[in-house]
Amino acid sequence: MKYGNLMLEKKEYVYIKRILNISGYVGDHEIQKSLRKFTEELKTAHILDEEDMPQDVVRLNSIVTVTSDNKWEKTIQIVQPSEKDIKNNKVSILTPMGAALFGYSVNDIVHWEFPTGEIELKVIDVNQQAQEKNLIYY
């Protein structure tokens, strides 16, 4: 891992902690496992001010290109749960893929348990879209 631990911006960290607490880890067992792992990773994350965030870290609204050990490549955008739209490759932070990638950076290798089994992902590219200044708190 390039930076040693996950890298999160302060406001996004607070937002994610809140939605994880409110979500109750939803009903699906596999999603529960993924979100519990994400919650554990958050405990050791580096929390930074907006101006100190590296540009190559996966954040809310980042457009991320990943490859897998299964030889596929995908480009997705990590979004708030209310903005998820699979047809337009917008993946919620509360899905296994969103939780797996969040806080990682370009060239990081991520091992994550998905409903289909463990997959190794490599972050190929991160493009920052305009970051939300006013996150929606449910």
For the segment 38-92, what is each residue's pLDDT rounded down to a tens digit? Answer: 999 999 999 999 999 999 999 999 999 999 998 999 999 999 999 999 999 999 9
For residue 113, what is the domain's CATH number?
3.10.50.30
Q: Is residue 74 part of a domain?
A: yes
Q: Is residue 1 part of a domain?
A: no
Q: Is residue 22 part of a domain?
A: yes
Q: Is residue 49 part of a domain?
A: yes
Phi, psi of 99 (to 5 degrees): -65, -35
In this prediction, residues 6-35 reach a mean pLDDT of: 85
Both structure tokens of 104: 């990682």
Q: What range does the domain containing 87 cover?
A: 7-127
Q: Is residue 135 part of a domain?
A: no
| Beta bridge partner(s), residue 9 | 48
Structural domains in the chain (count)? 1
Confidence of residue 137 (pLDDT cuts 50, 70, 90): very low
Amino acid at 71: K
Residue 132 is predicted with a pLDDT of 53
> pTM to 2 decimals?
0.89
Confidence of residue 130 (pLDDT cuts 50, 70, 90): low
**Predicted confidence (pLDDT) at residue 5 exceeds the cutoff of 90:** yes
Find tokens 């890298």 and name the residue. 7
Q: Is residue 23 part of a domain?
A: yes
Identify the three-state secondary structure at position 112.
strand
CA 1 vs CA 5, 28, 39, 74, 111: distances in Å: 7, 29, 18, 20, 11
In this prediction, residues 95-106 reach a mean pLDDT of: 96
Q: Is residue 133 part of a domain?
A: no
Phi, psi of 20 (to 5 degrees): -65, -40
